[in-house]
Amino acid sequence: MWSITKLTYNEGDLTKIYCCDGLPLFHTERGPEGHMERIMVGNLGYIDIADTGHLENGPYYWSLSINDAIYWYEYEAELEIAIEPDGSFRVEGDDNKLELHLKELPKLEDNIIQQFHEMIDLKIVPYLDPPVGVQKTDEQFQMLAEKYFPQDDYGFEKAIALYDWTSPNSIRQELFSLMQYTGIAGLPLDLRTMARVIWNCRFSTDSIQGEDFMNAFMLQTAASEEAIYQQLCQVYRKLQALTTAEMKLYAQAILSLNYPSVDEFPTLYRSAVPELAGYNTEDFAPSLYEYPGNWGPQEYPLIQNFEEALFGALSPGSIITSKAPWTFSNDWETTKASQNGILITCKPPEDATVWPGCANITEFSLNPEKFEINMPPPCRYRIDSYEWIDIEQKAVCHFTLTLLGYCAEPIQGNDSSYDINWKRTKFRRALELKKV
């Protein structure tokens, strides 16, 4: 078992450091053997700490893995961590003095920015002629960049990416994340289900018969779901690469902003499967990394009966991880009006002063009168409970979740599925080599 007794962040913002288990960072006993927790450090990187239990031939009986380095202790580990602006950090305690480096978040490499500019050149970013809202100019994007991303070489692009999410283009960005078989190499897509969602989408007055809406998918207007599917088969490879680049840019933009205050926004609300976006309740469980169908086979579509999912990934006490961004409102009544069978009330982590790993992007929005807090993927939540409520004589499942925060990449389950034996073998081999 271990805890953090002291943590310093030289020149950094301590409010941007949190543990992805939703518990207070300091003086919380964590473990036991086989459990791994992730400490996020803003947009700088993260620390993985795993309780590796007893290892032979060490100076002490018990051990931890801290970013793949071994930390020895006797009874309970009490860690003191000091983080530097360059991503290096020290861990001291129990006669240990480790000099390590944060695991890095995906970098915004030149090819990502080039792909984003290609989307602009193809006129699929920003959305061409939104039916509602107030379009922003390049001058306004530059002003937002200077205000929120000062001295950032990609601030202009980040501002556009956040704005783009608030337009009908969010359907494209969301679909190319949700429809991935995330457990299969190459992240193949469920194009049949994607075509169904696009066909049913009524997100704007355009939708399937509007050239602007279909242009967002590099498609032509279509007379049937099958016609959409056939077109997707021709363009999805290129579009998947482009949307992946935009999603990386969007996530970095979110993480660069201040985290929203819990005092200002104590509770947030979400309609999980909005009808206007073409979804229904069977699309909810597959929107999570924990959905078993992510591992295929690809012959099976990414859908699951909702009531069946309530006994699986959606059962109370479960940890879920989003595959796509989640948008939250602070208005319960407005959220109820857009629901299609599932509503979410989200609470902040225990004793938190900010909502970790997310941002208020209202000022970037196409609809600046519409409040919006966004949580980038992968983001973790704990399902605390659910209940069935009646809204206009319709049964609606109302979940209460606790936000655990953005986690950089999905975290393996803290049980037998976590490959603790691999780390033990690695450490034993390191000890043998040290003896030699």
Structure tokens at 171: 């359907």
High-pLDDT (> 90) share of the chain, %: 84
Give the pTM.
0.92
Half-sphere CA count of 225, side-chain side, radius 13 A? 12
Answer yes or no: is pLDDT of 429 > 50: no
Which residue has better confidence, 416 or 215? 215
Averaged pLDDT for residues 233-255: 97
Residues 364, 369: Cα–Cα separation, whole Å: 11
pLDDT at residue number 425: 43
pLDDT at residue number 127: 94
High-pLDDT (> 70) share of the chain, %: 92
Answer yes or no: is pLDDT of 296 > 70: yes
pLDDT at residue number 278: 78
Residues 280, 17: Cα–Cα separation, whole Å: 36
Topology match between the domains 2-105+428-435 and 110-406: no
May I ask the CATH class of domain 110-406?
alpha beta
Residues 244, 253: Cα–Cα separation, whole Å: 14
pLDDT at residue number 398: 97
Averaged pLDDT for residues 58-69: 96
Answer yes or no: is pLDDT of 422 > 80: no
Averaged pLDDT for residues 219-241: 96
pLDDT at residue number 336: 92
Answer yes or no: is pLDDT of 419 > 60: no
May I ask the CATH class of domain 2-105+428-435?
mainly beta
Q: Mean pLDDT over all residues of the chain?
A: 92
pLDDT at residue number 421: 42
| pLDDT, tens only, 153-163 | 999 999 999 99
Averaged pLDDT for residues 207-213: 78
Answer yes or no: is pLDDT of 436 > 90: no
DSSP lists the bridge partners of residue 90 as 82, 99
| pLDDT, tens only, 380-395 | 999 999 999 999 999 9
Answer yes or no: is pLDDT of 432 > 80: no
| pLDDT, tens only, 12-49 | 899 999 999 999 999 999 999 999 999 999 999 999 99
Averaged pLDDT for residues 268-293: 89
Per-domain residue ranges for the chain? Answer: 2-105+428-435, 110-406
